[in-house]
Chains A and B, each alone.
Chain A
Amino acid sequence: MPEVVLLLALFFILLFLPFVPPLIELLLKRDAKPIPIDLERKKEPDYFGKSFINLLATALKDLKIQEVEKPNPVYLKLKLNGEEWVGFLNDEKLAESTMDTPVIFTKDTVFLQNHKFKRELVVLGNAVFKNTCVARSLYVKGDCVIEAPVRIARWVHVEGTLIAKSNADLGVSVYAREMKIRGWTTFKRAYAKKIDTSDEPLIDKENNTGSVINLKGNFGITGSITIGGKERPVFVDGDIFCDGAAQIEGDVWIKGNVFSQESITLKDGVVIGIEGKVKSVVARGEILIKGPFRIYGYIHSEKRVEASP
């Protein structure tokens, strides 16, 4: 009889034992908060550069920065993400070949030497890269000209025009007022009022006297699509959304967006969007841009965008 009582007790213990961890969690509430949702969140193509500059401006707000005249770098301890040293330089020669801190050049700077900036590189003026350079991120207040191979790991933010004349790996996010790709360039997403690979007038600027294929409306395509404008120009007055790959080449002007669950290829004369308006090219796969090309707005790939003139 006592054995049965013991067994009965053991039975109930084993019955309720699996509830102990959940009951502990129910009582202690160690992981009871809902998943965090940022109520301020919105899509901003200039988010990274803007956030960094705001952070810097806030950190510098209470400090009086005199014009740096001495040929020595000035280091200030600022609160960015944490408390850290930030270098302020007025001459490229003051920078070492490898810099471990965020670096701010206070005026127009021409980079004649090879540099590796392991943190953010800021140029409060125009920037010209005449030698190889690697940086974690790049902010330029004026225009930025890349004449030598440059590699940026994270983001690029140029308030003026970004001209890439040499090979450039621009990281994840690029923001510029205007972007001219004149060398082999790669990035994941880029936003500018105009992004092009050539100065020559393309289909949106030409007088089309010949016969043109006009397509009007938004297109939803289950498979892949190829649009060739080699023989006759093609105007698409709408958006293209496709589940498969999109291959667009020749004199094709798509006035709307192009979206693909696979890859997008844009070659030899394609124009996306209308001047003065923002439109997008978005792909889950790669976006390959070759030859003359122009987009007014935004390019986004979950894999990689490769563009060459």
Chain B
Amino acid sequence: MGLLIFLLKAYMVFLMLVLLLYIVRHYTFTLNRALGKQRLYYQDVLDEDLPTVSVLVPMHNEEKVARHILDLLVASDYPKEKLEIIPINDHSTDKTKEILEEYAQKYPFIRPLHRYGDLPRGKQNGLNDALKIAKGEVIIVYDADYLPPKGQIRTLAIAFKDPRVGAVMGRVVPINAGKNLLTRLLDIERAGGYQVDQQARYNLNLIPQYGGTVGGFRKSVVMELGGFDPRILAEDTELTYKIYLNGYKVAYANSAECYEEAPEDWNARARQLRRWSRGHNQVMFKYFIPTILSKNLNFWQKIDGLLLLAIYMQPFLIFLGLLDSLLLFFLGEMEITSSYLFLLFMFAHNSFGNFAPFFEIGTALVLDGAKQKVFLLPLMFFEFIFNIIYASLGFFDALIDLITKRTILWQKTERFRNA
């Protein structure tokens, strides 16, 4: 019994330290973004010798949104002789195919890839097939619900003039921010995650993340590294680590802002969160040790890399912490825990909300010029247990994937926009 109590208390101390580490990390990012010298991105490099670009747009039953993104991509100011657009029609059963064929007829640089039959479903599989036919040196990926501005492809592609850049990521902004409680929370969390967190990681030469959309990568590097692993749901996170471990970098373009559609329904959000957590934890299992051993990362990049890998494991650790505390409570060992319980919840909250704490989000909102939006911060409370449950479920899913090596069934986020 003594040993059990010791282990339970030791776990509490361990958890406090881990959460404290995350708090310090996020506070450092907040200070750096709010007050520090910012790292210049490449948007001001004007160069006539632009790389050839293939824009990939994975689509599965995207009839509601397909036209919007294709119209905007057609309007892009990127030289058309250096641009091709490959919408990847992945087993769509609605009018997606017809819409893509209509655009392909009108525009020679739009070349849809239709995937049906026995071809395995999923974004990674679609991307892998598209990479075989893509002619561009640079691949830019947009999810189908995104609305890229005219000059954005150029903004993203120019980064690849720097030979160290393996991937680039822009800033995601929910267009349906004002719809309901969920979209409002996601809007402020995205602000914290991109305006502060990603930019700070870029400033500090740490590990900004390639997010799989409003972003791009160097085709030769990805092909050399074997493309996307179809067993890993978070292909974007995996690419980030592959890139860094092989000596390249991810450039974060805070000026490359793009509208997306955030989930408007808690069920959709639950599925999305669980999938992200599962994918991210799959990457964690695969890259934790290689990150530690990598010769291409400096000490701080390794620390940041490991903390980033474990970010979707945090909810599970906190869940264990709650169980641990309950156990200690019933074993009569609450005294030591009581004074720390506050810290547990505080740190847990601080580490939460799309993994940006309240002061990071508050700072992002001030930088964005928000006013009444700052009042929404206490509502993040409502996500607390929700996030723990679904992210923990994702962690379990990843654990089972690791043990059983089962096949992944791809699931897409539901669209809410009217066509």
A-B complex is real: yes
Interface size on A, residues (CB 8 A): 45
Instruction: Say yes or no: B371 contacts A31, CB within 8 Å.
Output: yes
Instruction: Say yes or no: A22 contacts B163, CB within 8 Å.
Output: no
Question: Which A residues are CB-close (under 8 A) to B39?
Answer: 261, 284
Question: Which B residues are CB-close (under 8 A) to A241?
Answer: 161-164
B117 at the interface (CB under 8 A from A): no
B120 at the interface (CB under 8 A from A): no
Q: Tell me the smallest distance from the CB of A6 to a CB of chain B, in Å.
A: 25
Residues 366-378 of chain B: 1 if any A CB is under 8 Å from the residue's CB, otherwise 0?
Answer: 0011111101111
Instruction: Say yes or no: B40 contacts A191, CB within 8 Å.
Output: no
Nearest 8 CB-CB pairings of A with B: A42-B151, A32-B178, A220-B164, A31-B372, A241-B162, A34-B177, A284-B40, A218-B163
Binds B, one of A163-171, A226-234, A295-303: A295-303
Residue of A nearest to B151 (CB): A42
Binds A, one of B46-54, B130-138, B263-271, B310-318: B46-54
A-B contact list, 28 entries, CB within 8 Å: A22-B376, A22-B379, A26-B376, A29-B178, A33-B178, A34-B176, A35-B368, A37-B259, A38-B149, A39-B149, A39-B150, A40-B150, A42-B77, A43-B43, A191-B46, A217-B163, A218-B163, A239-B161, A241-B161, A241-B164, A256-B47, A277-B48, A278-B46, A279-B46, A280-B44, A280-B47, A282-B42, A298-B44
The complex places the Cα of A30 from the Cα of B257 at a distance, in Å, of 23
Task: Choose one: A31, A243, A297; the contact of B46 (CB below 8 Å).
Answer: A297
The complex places the Cα of A305 from the Cα of B87 at a distance, in Å, of 43
B237 at the interface (CB under 8 A from A): no
Which range holds the interface residue count of chain B?
35 or more
B282 at the interface (CB under 8 A from A): no
Interface of B toward A, CB cutoff 8 Å: 39-40, 42-49, 72, 77, 147, 149-151, 154-155, 161-165, 173-178, 181, 184, 187, 191, 205, 257-259, 368-373, 375-379
Q: Tell me the smallest distance from the CB of A239 to a CB of chain B, in Å.
A: 5
Task: Choose one: A39, A219, A239, A243; the contact of B72 (CB below 8 Å).
Answer: A39
Task: Choose one: A21, A38, A42, A259; the contact of B42 (CB below 8 Å).
Answer: A259
Task: Choose one: B72, B259, B369, B375; the contact of A22 (CB below 8 Å).
Answer: B375
The complex places the Cα of A297 from the Cα of B45 at a distance, in Å, of 10
The complex places the Cα of A300 from the Cα of B41 at a distance, in Å, of 13
Known: A25-B373, A35-B368. A43 touches B46 (CB 8 A): yes
Q: Tell me the smallest distance from the CB of B247 to a CB of chain A, in Å.
A: 10
Considering residues A35, A218, A220, which has the most beta carbons from chain B within 10 angstroms of its beta carbon? A35
A24 at the interface (CB under 8 A from B): yes
The complex places the Cα of A203 from the Cα of B39 at a distance, in Å, of 33
SS class of chain A's interface: helix, strand, loop or mixed? loop
Residue of A nearest to B38 (CB): A284
The complex places the Cα of A26 from the Cα of B185 at a distance, in Å, of 10
Question: Which A residues are CB-close (under 8 A) to B258?
Answer: 37
Residue of A nearest to B45 (CB): A280
Question: Which A residues are CB-close (under 8 A) to B375?
Answer: 21-22, 24-25
The complex places the Cα of A218 from the Cα of B39 at a distance, in Å, of 20
Excluding A25-B373, A35-B369, 11 further A-B contacts by CB distance (< 8 Å) are A22-B379, A25-B372, A30-B372, A34-B178, A39-B72, A43-B154, A218-B161, A243-B205, A256-B47, A259-B45, A297-B46
Task: Choose one: B46, B161, B184, B259; the contact of A298 (CB below 8 Å).
Answer: B46
The complex places the Cα of A139 from the Cα of B164 at a distance, in Å, of 40
Known: A45-B46, A239-B161, A284-B40. A22 touches B377 (CB 8 A): yes
Task: Choose one: A25, A29, A34, A256; the contact of B173 (CB below 8 Å).
Answer: A34
Q: Tell me the smallest distance from the CB of A305 to a CB of chain B, in Å.
A: 12
The complex places the Cα of A188 from the Cα of B45 at a distance, in Å, of 14
The complex places the Cα of A34 from the Cα of B373 at a distance, in Å, of 10
Question: Which B residues are CB-close (under 8 A) to A298?
Answer: 44, 46
Instruction: Say yes or no: B378 contacts A18, CB within 8 Å.
Output: yes
Known: A34-B259, A241-B161. A41 touches B150 (CB 8 A): yes
Q: Tell me the smallest distance from the CB of B103 to a CB of chain A, in Å.
A: 18
Task: Choose one: A25, A37, A278, A300; the contact of B44 (CB below 8 Å).
Answer: A300
Question: Which B residues are CB-close (under 8 A) to A29?
Answer: 178
Interface of A toward B, CB cutoff 8 Å: 18-19, 21-22, 24-26, 29-35, 37-43, 45, 189, 191, 217-220, 239, 241, 243, 256-257, 259, 261, 277-280, 282, 284, 297-298, 300, 302
Question: Which A residues are CB-close (under 8 A) to B165?
Answer: 220
Task: Choose one: B46, B154, B175, B368; the contact of A280 (CB below 8 Å).
Answer: B46
Q: Tell me the smallest distance from the CB of A23 to a CB of chain B, in Å.
A: 8
Residue of B nearest to A37 (CB): B257
Question: Which A residues are CB-close (under 8 A) to B49?
Answer: 256, 277
The complex places the Cα of A22 from the Cα of B163 at a distance, in Å, of 47
Instruction: Say yes or no: A22 contacts B378, CB within 8 Å.
Output: yes
The complex places the Cα of A217 from the Cα of B178 at a distance, in Å, of 48
Question: Which B residues are CB-close (under 8 A) to A18?
Answer: 378
Question: Which B residues are CB-close (under 8 A) to A41?
Answer: 149-151
The complex places the Cα of A27 from the Cα of B379 at a distance, in Å, of 13
Considering residues B44, B150, B173, which has the most beta carbons from chain A within 10 angstroms of its beta carbon? B44
Q: Tell me the smallest distance from the CB of B296 to a CB of chain A, in Å.
A: 12
